[in-house]
Structure 1
Amino acid sequence: MHISKTPLAAASLAALLTLAACGESQEPEVVGGMADPNADEIAALDPAELPPMRVRETSFRCADNSLVHVSFYTNDTQVGVRLDETGPETLLPNEATAEDGEEAAEAPAVPSYAGEGYRVVGASDAPSIQFARPGGSLQRCNA
Structure 2
Amino acid sequence: MSANLDLTSLWGSLTAVTTLTFTAQSFGSGSGWNGTGVGTVEVESIDDQTLLFHEAGNWSPPEGKSLRFTNVYRWRAYSEQKQLRLEHLRFGNANPVYLFDLQQTAGDRWDSIEPHVCSEDLYTATLRLENETLHLDWTVKGKTKNERISYVYEQ
Bin the TM-score by the shorter chain. Answer: 0.3 to 0.5
Q: TM-score, normalising length from structure 1?
A: 0.35
Q: TM-score, normalising length from structure 2?
A: 0.33
Larger radius of gyration: 1
Write 1 or 2 for the structure with the bigger share of strand.
2
If asked which structure has higher relative contact order (CA below 8 Å, sep 6+), I would say 2
Write 1 or 2 for the structure with the bigger share of helix.
1
